[in-house]
Amino acid sequence: MLELKNGIGAKRYVKGISLGEGTYGVVFKALDTQTNRTVAVKKIRLGKYKEGVHVTALREIKLLKELRDPNIIELIDVYPHKRNLHLVFEFMESDLEAVIRDRNILLSPADVKSYMQMCLRGLAHCHKKWVLHRDLKPNNLLISSDGQLKLGDFGLARIFGSPDRKFTHQVFARWYRSPELLFGSKQYGSGVDIWAAGCIFAELLLRRPFLQGSSDIDQLGKIFQAFGTPRETQWPDMTSLPDYVEFQFTPAPALRSLFPMATEDALDLLSKMFAFDPKARITAQQALEHRYFSTDPAPTKAHLLLRPASKAEGMRPPPELASPKEPVVLSPPAKARRISLFPGVAGAEHIHHSKESKDGSSAATVGETPSDHSGMAITDRSYLKRKLDMDVHFEDERHV
């Protein structure tokens, strides 16, 4: 009756190198022998958490099973192994932070539009399903080997929509936090994700984080410096927020002065994503329908976007960029020009030069660590077995 797919779970994947330490465990690369796909396996230690399976893991599993979209990371499988829970995701080659940081990549207006469109599509799907991401930032926007941007890391995500449900305002990395969160709002909605997406939009245009506050108050200061202190008429509910403090009035500089290179359409969309009053802020769906996305230049096709130097090189075949089939000239002329400024570090070669750091050291040990959690005495186990009818894989993992 019970599908024993979990039993074969561990055997289905051939473990590769470590990709680094996640919020609650190691992430490693693996090969899915069933589909021949490269996957990323997030290993969550169960023994560590005295309250059973950690709520962030449960959240991520629950929400990602609900969210199926080309612009949201796919949770392929979940299985327990030894004293760990393994979450199997599609493998993502890079993330938007690496793109923004990579000075060898010139982001054309069409590229920026493409990234924003993919980001907003993923977000619109989340919001349609009443899910708030609550942790949007460039390094949670993952990029697949075919250039698709996908929302990842749903460990802070929550279902919203029940009007009386209160949330914590301690979400998002500070630089992406909306003013209502900074003022301590506990009943917020999808606007918080839109604000963060606006910050990412700005970051794509500027190639540096837009509002880099050093504390919550400083963050608000930075926001008001950029957009002016909100007036009561702009945001009527502001003064009744729990942590509201009055700021000295600063007038808004022209948005144009902050983003000298942006088009009118881009500025218009940006200003709507940065509306102070969350109720007046544009929604993800409305943003996708904004004229910015329908006017020239058209968004760059995902597979033509230039990929940054990869974070980890393992069993992955060389990226398309390096292969002769897809020469660098496929990119818009502007990019080729930029690359040619650095004759030594042109696209393909660049991929190889910064891969060494993260993978080398930890590769050998991942997954081979003996599970030495003693757990409970042997005598207790038979009792357990009787009571709960443990499955085979629970049984043998305790003898490993």
Site residues (vs other proteins, CB under 8 A): 1-3, 5-6, 46, 50-53, 55, 58, 61-62, 65-66, 78-80, 158-159, 165, 375-376, 380, 383-384, 387-391, 393-394
Q: Which residues are catalytic?
A: 135
CA angle 357, 359, 360 (to 5 degrees): 80
Establish whether 232 is an annotated binding residue. no
221 is in an annotated binding site: no
The answer to whether the annotation marks 228 as part of a ligand binding site is: no
Half-sphere exposure (CA, 13 Å, Cβ side) for 348? Answer: 12
Q: How many angstroms separate the first and last alpha carbons of the chain?
A: 26
- In the bound state with other proteins, the residue whose beta carbon lies nearer, of 3 and 296, is 3
Q: How far is Cα 168 from Cα 219, in angstroms, rounded to an integer? A: 18
Output the smallest distance, CB 384 to other proteins, in A.
6
User: Tell me, what DSSP letter sits at residue 24?
Assistant: S
Q: Considering only CA atoms, which of 352, 363, 360 is closest in space to residue 319?
A: 352
Residues written for the chain: 400
Q: Output the six-digit token pair for 268.
A: 């218009």
On whether the CB atoms of residues 25 and 320 are closer than 8 A, the answer is no
Nearest alpha carbon to residue 227 among 193, 202, 207, 205: 202
**Ligand-binding site membership of 43 (annotated):** yes
Kindly state the smallest distance separating residue 60's Cβ from other proteins, in Å: 10
CB atoms within 10 A of CB 59: 17
Residue nearer to other proteins on the CB measure, 1 or 261: 1
Least Å from the CB of residue 53 to other proteins = 6
Distance, CA of 364 to CA of 96 (rounded, Å): 28
* Whole-number Cα distances in Å, 166 to 186, 276, 328: 5, 21, 50
- The answer to whether 52 is a known ligand-binding residue is no
Quote the least distance from Cβ 386 to other proteins, whole Å.
8
Distance CA 331, CA 338 (A): 11
Q: Binding site annotation covers 128?
A: no
Q: Rounded CA gap, 196 and 185, in Å?
A: 16
Nearer to other proteins, 46 or 267 (CB): 46
Secondary structure letter of residue 370 according to DSSP: -
Residue with smaller CB distance to other proteins, 355 or 398: 398
- Is the Cβ of residue 58 or residue 245 nearer to other proteins in the bound state? 58
Least Å from the CB of residue 57 to other proteins: 10
Amino acid type, 215? S
Q: Give the phi and the psi of residue 209 in degrees, each rounded to 5.
A: -55, 135
Complex with other proteins: residue 9 or 213, whichever CB lies closer: 9
Upper half-sphere CA count for residue 17 (Cβ side, 13 Å) = 17
**244 known ligand binder:** no
Is residue 398 a contact partner of residue 390, using CB atoms and an 8 Å limit? no
Provide, rounded to whole angstroms, the least separation between the CB of residue 387 and other proteins: 5
Binding residues for ATP: 19-27, 42-43
